[in-house]
Amino acid sequence: MSRYLAPRSRKVRVLATLGPASRSPDMIKTLFRAGADAFRVNMSHGSHEDHAKVIAAIREMEAEFNRPTTILVDLQGPKLRVGRFAESMVTLKPGATFVLDRDTAPGDATRVNLPHRELFMAMEEGARLLLDDGKLVLRVTTAEPDRIVTTVEVGGALSNNKGLNVPDVVVPMAALTDKDRKDLDFALEQDVDWIALSFVQRAEDVAEARRLIAGRAALLAKIEKPAAVERLDDILGIADAVMVARGDLGVELPPQSVPPLQKRIVETARRLGKPVVVATQMLESMIKSPSPTRAEVSDVATAVYDGADAIMLSAESAAGDWPEQSVSMMNAIADAVERDPGYHARVHFTETWPDPTTADALSEAAASIAQTVSAAAIVCFTISGSTARRVARERPAVPLMVLTPSRETARRLGLLWGVHAVRTRDVGSFEEMVAKAKRMALRHGIAKAGDAIIVMAGVPFGVAGSTNVLHVVKLVGDELTGFED
């Protein structure tokens, strides 16, 4: 095997969830070869022991393929559920009265326990309660400290511990449960790269998670509550990235509201230079079928055209019958979209105005100069990853190679659009910077002899956040030797 693996031909990243169908070391390698750039570990299922084995397998594969590989751990969050029934299941009829209370006795067709004290404190008359992913709808008629009396608007079968969504009320509960805190400690001990925070409602939820993480991983906020949409700018101001989690978002909002919200979230994140992931039901039919529906293909393509940084597979790769084919299909769709002659214009429908900083001005200039001089690639040196994020925000038409001495930075950049990250020794002089940029571009196959590349870095070298150099150089054939990486 070659020491260096060629970069992906596409720029949008593919995030694959691992689970019973895909957590073996051999299958993880198979998914990587099929196109997975990053892997999601879902803490809603499985034990810490199981997850530790999966994370170790990813790190072993990372060493074998000599490419920084991104691991995202997704915390379960405060999922609301009703209690249990004496007969395991009841049928709620439209127009009937149904009570949720704090009595722990098994329920029946008239009442059930609701083991979430915070809901009783926050509930309001007229609010909707959605049960079992929105299949049943209740309307609150009376809200008391120990009882919530409702009228059944949409009835049906309801069984033990089904999920509950409350779209009309901001519930005063922490985004991190006791389980989440234990899972977070485990994830940080495992040196994972990203933590995904579920059921975010306020910026304060993100701030609390950031305090606990203390810089040991990057933080992604999942937008799946109407309250989070209303506070999107504040949440993005604190989070490192955002996910359009369309599952619960589509339960708590009318389905027709989700597509424009997806575009709004993607656009807002792009303007702020924060990575944005589009997730949930992207190739849902491939859980059981070896091929997707045409509507699913169009859905994935839309996210790519909109300029999302990453697109995610959930049950398709975690528990489906066709995990490899799901990743291959997502890879093929993204590749086809990015080969469309109209793709570059479409991905720039969102205008990303630079902040009044030298780094932003140079990043914008790099993308423009690359087109003007027909450069083969942009190569940037970074310690923290901030330069890479600024350049990626411009969605340049050429590959973006990021050279960093930080293993953590190289891994975290795996969710960033267009980035091929390489961990390498830092440079100490302008001449060394130019020589290394040329050498690494040739070795990794993003440019060839005779091509021009654009080099970005900060002087003095080794100081984070000091990007102030943009240099255009031409490659010749004898620059592969003579220096250590």
Catalytic residue among 17, 70, 150, 280: 280
Give the phi and the psi of residue 212 in degrees, each rounded to 5. -70, -35
Q: Contact at 8 Å (CB) between 422 and 428?
A: no
Q: Contact at 8 Å (CB) between 221 and 243?
A: yes
- State the sign of the Cα–Cα–Cα–Cα dihedral 445, 448, 451, 455: positive
Q: Is 302 a catalytic residue?
A: no
Catalytic residue among 67, 111, 222, 390: 222
Give the phi and the psi of residue 166 in degrees, each rounded to 5. -125, 85
Catalytic residue among 10, 13, 40, 389: 40
Catalytic residue among 29, 53, 79, 81: 81
- State the sign of the Cα–Cα–Cα–Cα dihedral 205, 217, 44, 155: positive
- Tokens 């530790």 — which residue? 52
Q: Contact at 8 Å (CB) between 172 and 121?
A: yes
Write the secondary structure of the chain as one string of H (helix), E (strand) and C (coil). CCCCCCCCCCCCEEEEEECCCCCCHHHHHHHHHHCCCEEEEECCCCCHHHHHHHHHHHHHHHHHHCCCCEEEEECCCCCCECCCECCCEEEECCCCEEEEECCCCCECCCEEECCCHHHHHHCCCCCEEEECCCCEEEEEEEECCCEEEEEEEECEEEECCCEEECCCCCCCCCCCCHHHHHHHHHHHHCCCCEEEECCCCCHHHHHHHHHHHCCCCEEEEEECCHHHHHCHHHHHHHCCEEEEEHHHHHHHCCHHHHHHHHHHHHHHHHHHCCCEEEECCCCHHHHCCCCCCHHHHHHHHHHHHCCCCEEEECHHHHCCCCHHHHHHHHHHHHHHHHHCCCHHHHHCCCCCCCCCCHHHHHHHHHHHHHHHCCCCEEEEECCCCHHHHHHHHCCCCCCEEEEECCHHHHHHHHHCCCEEEEECCCCCCHHHHHHHHHHHHHHCCCCCCCCEEEEEEECCCCCCCCEEEEEEEECCCCCCCCCCC
Q: Is 293 a catalytic residue?
A: no
Give the phi and the psi of residue 100 in degrees, each rounded to 5. -110, 125
**Centroid of chain to Cα 404:** 22
Smallest Cα–Cα separation from 248: which of 226, 277, 232?
226
Q: Is 271 a catalytic residue?
A: no
Give the Cα separation of 135 and 6 in Å (integer): 47
Q: Is 17 a catalytic residue?
A: no
Indicate which residues carry an active-site annotation.
40, 81, 222, 280
